[in-house]
Amino acid sequence: MRVAVLQMNSGTEPGPNLDQLERLATEAAGRGATYLLSPEVSVVFAENRDGLRAVAGPWEDNPAIARVAATARRLGVNLHLGSLAVALPDGRFANRAVLFRPDGSIAATYDKIHLFDATLPGLRHYRESETYAGGIEAVVTDAPGFALGMTICYDVRFPRLHRALAEAGAEVISVPAAFTVPTGEAHWEVLLRARAIETGSWVIAAAQAGRHQNGRSTWGHSMIVDPWGKVVAELDGDGPGIAIADVDLKAVGEARGKVPALDNARPFSVTVTGSGAPVAAREDVSA
């Protein structure tokens, strides 16, 4: 199975972004890729919530979804839209990934589970949950040729999700993202390789890259990582492009055979002690 990551520099209006996605997808398909992954917020990378509300529509009769479906159908590929914002009745949005089959029908969707809510040093409170509603269901689906576990961006920091996907049969894990430059430089490759190594899975990561219309800069460096943790394809961080690799599923069995961490995991309890009398906090958790 030949796969491709489509690295984008999405702006604040859907039309040019969808043009960019279609150009990259056409190039990747022309080079033999049959599974294509675009980044998080491929359709709109808005400046703020008001900007997002102005252009992001509901799920039903969504023109962006219709256009990406048409692109998948024209190219005859499995086209995985890394994510788009879908308007919800409560005024928030779902950060939703959509996998299209070669006939343009939808094979699966996934709503980003983990939302970034933090107080950043020297900056205002950042609450992704004020704009987005977190998903509640992990997804493994058939992307013909392999079992695909779906994640989005910040999910990559949560190993338990990736373990659950691998235990449910995922051989490949997708990570569409829009990492900032500081966190991307420090953590992006390390996290992707760690998720590949600990699950014995291929990791396919498509990222936003460069300076955007909304004023943000993203790290890029879209990459494909094999189950042993080797980076087999990578882009730089300057802007749009594609990277392609051939996925050999035998590598999944070989990696999991050499290091059977999924099989060897055991439940255990945790005891917390402090000053004075011990405080027992016992919980069965996954290794």
Tell me whether strands 172-174 and 202-205 are parallel, antiparallel or unpaired.
Answer: parallel
Question: In 3D, which of 137, 170, 146 has the Cα closest to residue 256?
Answer: 170
Q: What is the spatial distance between Cα 8 and Cα 12, in angstroms, rounded to a whole number? A: 13
Torsion of CA 35, 41, 42, 44, to 10 degrees: 160
pLDDT at 152 over 50: yes
List the catalytic residue out of 22, 47, 60, 112: 112
Q: What is the spatial distance between Cα 81 and Cα 21, in angstroms, rounded to a whole number? A: 9
* Per-residue pLDDT, 285: 46
Identify which has the larger pLDDT, 262 or 124: 262
User: What is the chain's mean pLDDT, rounded?
Assistant: 94
* Per-residue pLDDT, 254: 98
Distance of CA 103 to the CA centre of its chain: 23
Angle between helix 14-30 and 63-75 (nearest 10): 10
Question: In 3D, which of 22, 23, 30, 24 has the Cα closest to residue 2?
Answer: 30
Tell me the whole-structure pTM to 2 decimals: 0.94
Distance of CA 62 to the CA centre of its chain: 21
Torsion of CA 182, 184, 188, 191, to 10 degrees: 40
pLDDT at 57 over 70: yes
Output the CATH code of domain 2-264.
Answer: 3.60.110.10
* Per-residue pLDDT, 263: 97
* Per-residue pLDDT, 274: 81
Within a 10 A sphere around the Cβ of 128, how many other Cβ atoms? 16
Q: What is the spatial distance between Cα 161 and Cα 175, in angstroms, rounded to a whole number? A: 12
Render pLDDT for 58-72 as a digit per residue (tens, 0 to 9). 999 999 999 999 999
Sign of CA dihedral 28, 29, 34, 39: positive
* Per-residue pLDDT, 262: 97
Render pLDDT for 162-210 as a digit per residue (tens, 0 to 9). 999 999 999 999 999 999 999 999 999 999 999 999 999 999 999 999 9
List the catalytic residue out of 22, 40, 198, 258: 40
Is 250 an annotated catalytic residue? no
Question: In 3D, which of 176, 188, 184, 183 has the Cα closest to residue 231?
Answer: 188
pLDDT at 225 over 60: yes
Q: How confident is the model at residue 47 (pLDDT cuts 50, 70, 90)?
A: confident
Is 112 an annotated catalytic residue? yes
Is 153 an annotated catalytic residue? yes
User: What residues does each domain of the chain span?
Assistant: 2-264
Render pLDDT for 231-287 as a digit per residue (tens, 0 to 9). 999 999 999 999 999 999 999 999 999 999 999 999 999 999 986 555 555 544 443
